[in-house]
């Protein structure tokens, strides 16, 4: 059962979703993160080191490629979210975009595996971001489509658990793939297989053609601007997510190089895998529990605030305790904080959406707060590491940015 919606908009869900639906959506979400983070954690860094022209730092190549892909992501997520809002396919609004996005993402990862120059690498990564964001926008929109408010913290927790497992699995596949090409192909295969249960087993609600709003390009393009004056809670929630994710992106971007160049680890790729696994274990310890606790408490803000504080402490450790034990402790604390943040922040975001009729587009705009840090982080990190104090300064800046983001959640008035 669903509550009636005004003006022909999709109804607000009121019936709890089952475990099978949550599990299959979570697996599909994790599969997309495999497609992103196998490259981001390991493969792009290795390719950048192999393909960097003489006289060009590998850090600069990685920053340029990652930034270009993130710029594509910023446009693709809200665009495909808006298109899915208007899709009247007999397979539903979201499922066609999940299928097309994952299939295209697998093909783009295969293309990236064959890149033999920096421009080819950049094009391949931009295509990966374009296609996988089509699928991710649809998966994210499925939550407010189907999940009632009182269950969103728990579902957000399972999606968050799948996200970190996707990061761990992507890192593992990239490491165990037998090289750059094998790593990319392994990630592509997992992305396809992981989405099949949701696509095959769960029917997506169909939007009747008669209920699709009339399209004018002016209104369509104008819809991508959501005024923070008219919707201040959404504005503050967006800024909170952006700053916390920016701090996290700064901490993770050069992790392979940090282990290689600062800690002098003999196997930096293996070290990234160990840290990712430690992070994943502690994240899994809090991500579902944090979401369920938030649902039962009926509050979101305190969880987001203290999660951000814990993440700030973790990033600060990388700045002041530059040893392997320090990195392991930082990874563990970062997982604790990010677990709670991931589940509760998703629930919070779905509760500040302006209207039900364009959830996909609005969540796509919100998800820019995930992708924009990938653009901003390389632009900030490269000069900090190269000219403004090195990795100690980088992690200090990251900690400060994350703390400001956590504190800003207190400005949201409509969600406790």
Least confident of 31-35, 85-89, 217-221, 236-240: 217-221
Is residue 42 within 8 A of residue 175, CB to CB? The reply is: yes
CA 347, CA 366: separation in Å to the nearest integer?
Answer: 12
- Looking at residue 220, its pLDDT comes to 63
Is residue 84 within 8 A of residue 207, CB to CB? The reply is: no
- Looking at residue 1, its pLDDT comes to 40
Computed on alpha carbons and rounded to an integer, the radius of gyration of the chain in Å comes to: 20
Q: Residue 65 has which token pair?
A: 């490629």
pLDDT digits (tens, 9 = 90+) for 124-144: 999 999 999 999 999 998 988
State mean pLDDT over 8-35. 86
* String of DSSP letters for 75-125: HHHHHHHHHHHT---TT-SSHHHHHHHHHHHHHHHHHHHT--SHHHHHHHH
- Looking at residue 385, its pLDDT comes to 85
Question: Closest Cα to residue 342, out of 373, 308, 365, 316?
Answer: 308
CA 278, CA 336: separation in Å to the nearest integer?
Answer: 10
CA 404, CA 308: separation in Å to the nearest integer?
Answer: 9
Q: Which residues of 84-95 are buried (b: 16+ CB within 10 A; e: fewer)?
A: bbbbeeeebbbb
State mean pLDDT over 363-367. 82
The helix (run of H) or strand (run of E) holding residue 3 is strand 2-3
* String of DSSP letters for 292-319: HHHHHHT--HHHHHHHHHHHHHHHHHHH
State mean pLDDT over 30-54. 91
- Looking at residue 57, its pLDDT comes to 83
Q: Give residues with Cβ within 8 angstroms of 37, minimum separation 6.
A: 166, 167, 170, 171
What is the number of H-type helices and E-type strands within the chain? 15, 2
Residue 323 has pLDDT above 50, yes or no: yes
- Looking at residue 150, its pLDDT comes to 83
CA 115, CA 122: separation in Å to the nearest integer?
Answer: 9
CA 293, CA 277: separation in Å to the nearest integer?
Answer: 24
* Cα 299 → chain centroid: 23
Question: Closest Cα to residue 159, out of 171, 146, 172?
Answer: 146
Residue 337 has pLDDT above 60, yes or no: yes
What's the CA angle centered on 10, arms 9 and 15, to 5 degrees? 145
Q: Is the dihedral of CA 229, 231, 233, 238 positive or negative?
A: negative
State mean pLDDT over 334-349. 87
Cα–Cα distances in Å, from 365 out to 98, 193, 227, 238? Answer: 18, 28, 12, 9
Q: Residue 200 has which token pair?
A: 């095959």
Ordered by start, the domain boundaries in the chain are 17-208+227-411
357 versus 59: the higher-pLDDT residue is: 59
pLDDT tier for residue 221 given thresholds of 50, 70 and 90: low
254: three-class secondary structure by DSSP: coil
State mean pLDDT over 99-116. 96
Superfamily the domain 17-208+227-411 falls into:
MFS general substrate transporter like domains (1.20.1250.20)
pLDDT digits (tens, 9 = 90+) for 249-258: 888 878 888 8
17: three-class secondary structure by DSSP: coil
209 versus 21: the higher-pLDDT residue is: 21
């Amino acid at each position: 059962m669903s509550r009636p919606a005004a003006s022909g908009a999709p109804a607000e869900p009121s019936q709890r979703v089952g475990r099978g639906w949550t599990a299959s959506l979570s697996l599909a979400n994790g599969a997309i993160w495999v497609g992103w983070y196998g490259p981001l954690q390991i493969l792009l860094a290795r390719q950048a080191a192999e393909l960097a022209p003489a006289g060009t730092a590998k850090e600069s190549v990685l920053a340029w490629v990652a930034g270009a892909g993130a710029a594509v992501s910023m446009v693709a997520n809200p665009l495909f979210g808006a298109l899915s809002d208007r899709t009247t396919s007999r397979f539903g609004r979201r499922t066609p975009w999940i299928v097309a996005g994952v299939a295209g993402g697998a093909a783009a990862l295969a293309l990236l595996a064959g890149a033999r120059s920096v421009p080819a690498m950049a094009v391949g990564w931009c295509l990966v971001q374009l296609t996988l964001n089509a699928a991710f926008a649809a998966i994210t929109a499925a939550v407010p489509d189907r999940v009632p408010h009182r269950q969103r913290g728990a579902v957000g927790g399972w999606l968050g658990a799948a996200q970190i497992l996707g990061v761990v699995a992507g890192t593992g596949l990239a490491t165990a793939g037998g090289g750059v090409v094998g790593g990319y192909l392994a990630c592509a295969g997992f992305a396809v297989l992981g989405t099949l249960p949701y696509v095959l087993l769960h029917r997506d609600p169909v939007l009747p053609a008669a209920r699709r709003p009339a399209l004018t390009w002016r209104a369509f393009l104008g819809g991508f601007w959501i005024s923070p004056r008219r919707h201040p809670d959404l504005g503050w929630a967006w800024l909170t997510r952006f700053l916390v994710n920016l701090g996290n992106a700064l901490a993770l971007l050069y992790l392979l190089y940090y282990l290689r160049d600062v800690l002098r680890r003999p196997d930096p790729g293996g070290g990234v895998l160990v840290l990712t696994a430690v992070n994943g274990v502690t994240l899994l310890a809090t991500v579902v529990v944090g979401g369920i606790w938030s649902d039962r408490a009926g509050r979101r803000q305190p969880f987001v605030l203290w999660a951000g504080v814990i993440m700030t402490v973790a990033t600060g450790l990388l700045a002041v305790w530059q040893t392997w034990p320090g990195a392991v402790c930082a990874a563990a604390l970062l997982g604790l904080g990010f677990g709670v943040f991931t589940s509760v922040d998703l629930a919070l975001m779905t509760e500040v959406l302006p209207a039900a009729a364009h959830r996909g587009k609005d969540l796509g705009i919100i998800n820019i707060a995930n992708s924009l840090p990938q653009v901003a982080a390389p632009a900030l990190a490269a000069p900090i590491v190269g000219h403004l104090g090195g990795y100690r300064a980088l992690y200090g800046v990251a900690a400060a940015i994350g703390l400001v983001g956590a504190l800003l959640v207190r400005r949201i008035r409509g969600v406790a």
